[in-house]
Structure 1
Amino acid sequence: MKHYRNLSIGVLLAVMLAACATPYDTQKSFWTFGKGFETMQIAPDSWQISFVGNTNTDRALTRKYVMLKAAELCQKAGYPYFSFNNEQTNRDSVAQYGAATTTGDILWGSSTIDKETSTVVEVTGLKSKPSSPASRIYNTDYILQHLSTES
């Protein structure tokens, strides 16, 4: 009986966690079901940052997370400015789950589609702000002071 109670508590916790957007501090791994951040330095002043969120993580939130992560990386490396060289955001259906029953010749049921939102950017840190930039330039300190990880 105690085993069933512990199992029920575990299932309840898993359901509650699945109902929330993927948190900012999540690193992509097997244990996070492939959700979260993955960063890779591709040059001394450049990084590729990807974030994958669950069904409850929308496009705006994934972009905000990536913007914050870019500002953190650039500040840590001593770059007061940065730019996005490439950016791609997708919202894809990744699975469908359902349950059904039959009554005579009629099939009754419901299903849900699991989606994930992903953003991938290439970020370049800049020591100074160019006078006529080819792309938008972001101020690292401004981003860190004005964006939060709240959804």
Structure 2
Amino acid sequence: MRRLMQLMGCLSLALLVSACATSYDTEKSFWTFGEGFDTVQIAPDSWQISFVGNNATDRALARKYVLYKSAELCRNAGYPYFVFTSERVDRDSVGQFGVGTDIDKDFLIGSSSIEKQTSLMVEVTGLKEQAEQGDSRVYSTDYILGHIKIDG
């Protein structure tokens, strides 16, 4: 009975953790099931940032995370301003499959649930001055870092 209670406790904890949005400090890896950030510097002043969130991470939260990450990268590289040169946001359905048997001992394979993943990819370029950038909005690193609150 004690063993069953421990198992139920672990299962409850796993469900509780999986219900939370992907946190800001998560880096993509095998252990995070591909969720979190991946950042690649593609030029001396530019980065490609991708973020994948779980079912509880909506588009607005993902964009907030990417704005904040962009501001951090640009400030650390000495750029007081930045612009997104490209941006793509998706909300994909990801099926999860279950395997088991029914009462008659027949082998079953089927879809057990469908998860939604929010993914966002941007290319961000740091700027030394707040100059006009055509149709692109120029963001201030200090303003973003001072006004956007990130939990986690």
Question: TM-score scaled by structure 2?
Answer: 0.85
- For 1:127, the aligned partner's letter is K
Matching residue of 1:79: 79
Matching residue of 1:140: 141
Matching residue of 1:35: 35
Matching residue of 1:106: none
CA RMSD of aligned residues (A): 2.3
CA distance, structure 2, for counterparts of residue 133 and residue 116 of structure 1: 31
Q: CA deviation at 1:3?
A: 4.0
Aligned residues between the structures: 142
Q: CA deviation at 1:133?
A: 2.0
- For 1:137, the aligned partner's letter is V
Matching residue of 2:15: 15
Q: CA deviation at 1:2?
A: 4.6
CA distance, structure 1, for counterparts of residue 138 and residue 66 of structure 2: 15
Matching residue of 1:90: 90
| SS of 2:149 mapped into structure 1 | coil
Once the two structures are superposed, what CA deviation does each residue of 1:75-114 show, in whole Å capped at 9, x if it has no partner?
A: 111100000000000000011568xx89xxxxxxx96421
Matching residue of 2:120: 119
Question: TM-score scaled by structure 1?
Answer: 0.85
Matching residue of 1:107: none
Structure 2: state its 5+ residue gaps. Answer: 104-110
Once the two structures are superposed, what CA deviation does each residue of 1:6-31 show, in whole Å capped at 9, x if it has no partner?
A: 33222211100111111111111111
Query: Identity, % of aligned pairs?
Result: 60
- For 1:27, the aligned partner's letter is E
CA distance, structure 2, for counterparts of residue 143 and residue 25 of structure 1: 17
